[in-house]
Amino acid sequence: MLRISSCLLVAVACVLAAPDPSTKISSDLQARLKAGEKVNIIVSMVGGTASTLQQINSQRIDNRNILLNELHDALVANAERSQRGVLKRLSSRSGVKSFWISNQIFVKDADSELVKLIAEDDQVDSINEEAVAHLDEPFDMKVVETLADEHQWGVVKIQAPEAWAEMGALNGNGVIIATVDTGVRVTHEALRDNFLGDYGWFDPSTGLPAPTDNNGHGTHTTGTIAGGKGIGVAPGAKWAACRGCASSACWQSDLLACGEFFACPTLADGTSRDCTKAPNVVSNSWGGGRGNTWYNDVIAAWKAAKIVPLFSNGNSGPNCNTANSPADQDVIAVGSTTIEDAISTFSSVGPTTDGRMKPEVSAPGSNVISAYYTSDTAYVSLSGTSMACPHAAGTIALLQTRNKNLSYAQAKQFLQGHTDTNLQFTGRVCENIGDNVFPNHVFGSGRINALKSVRAQTLAMQG
C-alpha cells in the first residue's frame, strides 16, 4: 500500500511540475487572440539551431562547397526532428511554412484554439506574432538626367579604383553579392550583365520567376555594390537578390525565407537546390526597433556558411541610442557619411540597448547616385544608411575576390581595422566618448577605405 501511495505522489508531482502551455504564448499575441483576432504567428522550437551550428563550426570544414551542403543537411535534419509533431498537427492547414534556417514554423491566420493546440507540443519553445521590419527609407531623391562618365563620389572616396589596381585590376571577380531588399530591375543597363542567373533570385511573397523591383530601393542598393557605369564598388561581382520587402514593409516570414534561400539557393520556382551558389556577402538595408533578436538565427547560419552579413544602422539619428535592429546585433553595422566626411545627420547612433559600440564603420551615404527601377537607364540620387551599407558590402566583396573563404571575423577586421579617421567632427558625445575618439558611437571605427583594407589583406597574404 505504501508503495502504491509513493507512485501516486510521484505522478501527482509530475503533473504539478508540467509547464503551462499558455506561458509559451507571448502576452501581445494572447491579447490579440483574446480579442478574437486571427494572427500570423511564428512558432520557435526548443533548442533552435544553436547545437547544430556549434557542431558544424567545430568541424572546421575548409572546402566551402562541402561546408554549405553539410550545413544545409544538418539544419534540415534538426528541423525535421523537432518540428515533426507540430507539422503533423498542422497537416490539414494551408498557409504553413517550415524554416530550417531558424528551426521555426510560420502559420497564417491562426486563431486562439489553434495556437493553444500548437503550444501543447513539448518541442515548442515560444509562439509570437509575426514581426514586421521596414526599409530604412532614404531621403532627398533627385533624378539624374545624365549620368556622368566617371566613378561616383562614394566609390572614389573609399578609393575603390585604387583597390582594384592593388589586386591587379580585379574588382569582385568570382564573388557573389546579395541583397535582401525590394528586388532588382534585372534589365537595367548597369546591372543586366552580371546577374547570377539560375539560383540568383527568389521572391517569397509573389513567386515571380525573374528579378523585378516595384520600389527602386533594391535596384539602387544593388547598383552601389556591383553596378557598372561607375556606380558600383565591386562591378566584377555577380549579384543575387531576394525580395524580403514586398513594399516598405518587410515581414518576418519573407525575411526568414530570404535568409534560408541565401544559405542554400533554389531555382526561382523551388524545383532544384544548389548550395554551392550561396553568396559570399549579404547587404541588408532594412530594420526597426532596438534590441530585437528574431533574425539572429539567420545571421548565425550565414556566418557558419561564410556569408558575411552587413546591415544599415538606421536613419533615426542624430541622437544617441538610436541604432536599429538587426544592425544592433552581432553584425557589421554601417553608418552614413557625407562627401565632406561628416556624419550624415540622419545616421543612427549607438550604443546598443546593452551598451555595445555601434556602428562598426561608416561609409558614403548622402546624395549617392545609383540605378533606379523606372527604366533601364534611370538613375537617382538618394541619401540614407541604406546607401552607405552597400559601399561596405562592396568593399567586403573586393576582399573576397582573393579569398572566397574569408570568415566573418576576418572580413570585419580588414574593414574595421583600416579606416579613415581624419573626418569632420561635430563634437557629439555618446556614453562619454566624443566623435573624434575612435572607435565611437557616431562613426564607429571610422569611414571605410577599400584600398587600406585590400592592402592590409595583401600584407596578411604575404606573411
At residue 328, what is the residue type? D
> How far apart are alpha carbons 246 and 206 in whole angstroms?
8
Burial of 17 (0-12, 13-18, 19+ CB in 10 A): exposed
453 has catalytic annotation:
no
Q: What are phi and psi of 256, to 5 degrees?
A: -65, -40
* 93 CA to centre of own chain: 30
Please name the residues in contact with 184: beta carbons below 8 A apart, sequence gap of 6 or more. Answer: 191, 195, 211, 212, 213, 218, 219, 222, 239, 241
Cell of 388: 552607405
Nine-digit cell string for 347: 545616421
Angstrom distance (rounded) from CA 254 to CA 371: 24
Side chain identity, residue 238: K
Three-class secondary structure of residue 418 per DSSP: coil
User: Cis omega before residue 161 (within 30°)?
Assistant: no
**8 A C-beta contact, residue 357 and residue 441:** yes
Catalytic residue among 72, 82, 203, 217: 217
Place of cell 528574431: 294
Answer yes or no: 386 catalytic: yes
Strand ranges (E), 145-278: 176-181, 201-202, 238-243, 249-251
CA distances from 425 to 134, 419, 430 (A): 30, 15, 13
Placement of cell 545609383 in the chain: 370
Contact 424, 157 (CB under 8 A): no
Active site residue 134: no
| Partners of 369 in the β-ladder | 381
Helices 450-462 and 408-416, packing angle to 10 deg: 120
Tell whether omega for the bond before 209 is within 30 degrees of 0, i.e. cis.
Answer: no
From the list 121, 181, 254, 420, the catalytic residue is 181
Q: What is the DSSP letter of 275?
A: G
Catalytic residue among 44, 386, 445, 453: 386
Catalytic (active-site) positions: 181, 217, 386
